Amino acid sequence: MEKVYFSMQAKIYFESGGLEKYLPEIKNYGRKVLIVSGKNFIFRSGLYDRLSKILSDRKIEQVLYSDVNPEPDTYDVERGSRICRKENCDCILAVGGGSAIDVGKSIAVLSTNSGAIRDYFGEREYENEPLPVIAVPTTCGTGSEVTRFAVIVDREGRTKKTISSEKIIPKMSILDSDLLQTLPQKLVMATGMDAFSHSAESFLSARADHISKLFAKDSLKLLKKFLPEAYREPDNVNARERIFLASLLAGFSINRTGTIVVHGMGYSLTIKRNIHHGTANAILLPYVFEYLKENGYGEEISELEEILGDTGKLKNFVHDIGLPSTLKETGFTQGDIDELSELSVIGTQRSQKNMKIQMNRDNFKKILQDAL
């Protein structure tokens, strides 16, 4: 029987309206909080006012860094770390989608350790303990609120890089599903498909085990049912809440297994044409499945099909929830395929370790060609 290792130091609250109830616990982690967020949603949704009131009512000092770009890069991290050090913040409150949470985790590392964030890509030892991170996700895809990963764009390397350490897992995460009710429909679908991809890739990872598969399977069941339901009925509170839960479960599963090549290939679409991370995965996943089914993963994909049905129809599923299901629909042409194949080789360097077959440039090219 396989060995089992399970470690989870985090507190997770999943509750509608839970923000007011649980955020006051942040006082157990710090006295002066750096709020890390994107530029718009936190203000437009009224969330900033809510957070700010909860903190000031408890006399917790706060500093705002609301300058995180979508698909954040090393500069987003370095700007935030300078503010964090200058203001002597001792805790990070990361609020938003994967971008804000991943930048928050990276600032946590860089604020207590010397050098540049590039020095911490991969699995590194930290001289000093990173600051504690508290996460409040506002999208239903990232899973970053419970993972050991922070993914940051490395412009020089023309790819995304991952910081990986148990030390950056948020100490507390509050998933208040009320926050999801104002998220635009398109983002619910795109981030929901990111979660879908997390679970599917985790299931196929060479590091998958009994526990990770439990999370992945349940998450896929929820997404299969509730993504179409939430698409048909944008005001269906329950459907959005279930997708949010599925993204949390998917986070647990990738935290144990990492992803396989879909994410690494998806980075190339984002680097080249700024395609949303979840949308990039949604486009590629069906074509990667097709390839893997024929190349060593027949048994695993059949097992997945017990939950998902015929994976050959996954393209229709993606299309039917309003997302593009070909590269052409997002503006790519035949002339891009070589460069995307090259970028896929770079982007998958890390995740190939989670594969039982090794894939080369020509293999990626075939998948991308099919996806065009």
Q: Which residues bind Fe ion (CB under 5 A)?
A: 194
Give helix 237-257 / helix 210-232 axis angle, nearest 10°.
150
**CB burial string 64-85: b at 16+ within 10 A, e below:** bbbebebbbbbebbebbbebbe
Compute the CA torsion angle 88, 93, 97, 100 (nearest 10 deg): 0
Report how far residue 318's alpha carbon sits from residue 323's, in angstroms, rounded to the nearest whole number: 6
Type of residue numbered 224: K
Sorted by sequence, the CB contacts under 8 Å of residue 225 that are 6+ apart come out as 242
Q: Which of 254, 253, 288 is nearest to 269 (CA)?
A: 288
Q: Which residue, 267 or 317, has its beta carbon nearer to Fe ion?
A: 267
Q: Which residue, 76 or 194, has its beta carbon nearer to Fe ion?
A: 194
What one-character DSSP code corresponds to residue 368? H
Q: Which residue's Cβ lies closest to Fe ion?
A: 194
Residue 323 contacts residue 194 (beta carbons within 8 Å): no
Q: Which residue, 89 or 249, has its beta carbon nearer to Fe ion?
A: 249
The CA radius of gyration of the chain, in Å to the nearest whole number, is: 20
The distance of closest approach from Cβ of residue 178 to Fe ion in the complex, given in angstroms and rounded to an integer, is 23
Compute the CA torsion angle 366, 367, 368, 371 (nearest 10 deg): 120
Q: Which residue, 84 or 284, has its beta carbon nearer to Fe ion?
A: 284
Residue 327 contacts residue 272 (beta carbons within 8 Å): no
The distance of closest approach from Cβ of residue 324 to Fe ion in the complex, given in angstroms and rounded to an integer, is 17
The distance of closest approach from Cβ of residue 281 to Fe ion in the complex, given in angstroms and rounded to an integer, is 6
SS3 content of the chain, % helix, strand, coil (to 5): 60, 15, 30
Q: Which residue, 260 or 301, has its beta carbon nearer to Fe ion?
A: 260
The distance of closest approach from Cβ of residue 201 to Fe ion in the complex, given in angstroms and rounded to an integer, is 9
What one-character DSSP code corresponds to residue 348? T
The distance of closest approach from Cβ of residue 129 to Fe ion in the complex, given in angstroms and rounded to an integer, is 27
Q: Which residue, 51 or 146, has its beta carbon nearer to Fe ion?
A: 146
Q: Which residue, 113 or 139, has its beta carbon nearer to Fe ion?
A: 139
Q: Which residue, 194 or 336, has its beta carbon nearer to Fe ion?
A: 194
The distance of closest approach from Cβ of residue 279 to Fe ion in the complex, given in angstroms and rounded to an integer, is 11
Report how far residue 292's alpha carbon sits from residue 355's, in angstroms, rounded to the nearest whole number: 10
E-assigned strand segments in 118-194: 133-137, 149-154, 159-164, 172-175
Exposure of 121 in the CB half-sphere (CA atoms within 13 A): 15
The distance of closest approach from Cβ of residue 45 to Fe ion in the complex, given in angstroms and rounded to an integer, is 22
Tokens of 63: 């500093």
Tokens of 146: 């419970």
The distance of closest approach from Cβ of residue 77 to Fe ion in the complex, given in angstroms and rounded to an integer, is 18
Report how far residue 186's alpha carbon sits from residue 176's, in angstroms, rounded to the nearest whole number: 20
The distance of closest approach from Cβ of residue 348 to Fe ion in the complex, given in angstroms and rounded to an integer, is 14
Q: Which residue, 160 or 240, has its beta carbon nearer to Fe ion?
A: 160
Q: Which residue, 71 or 194, has its beta carbon nearer to Fe ion?
A: 194
Type of residue numbered 284: L
The distance of closest approach from Cβ of residue 36 to Fe ion in the complex, given in angstroms and rounded to an integer, is 19
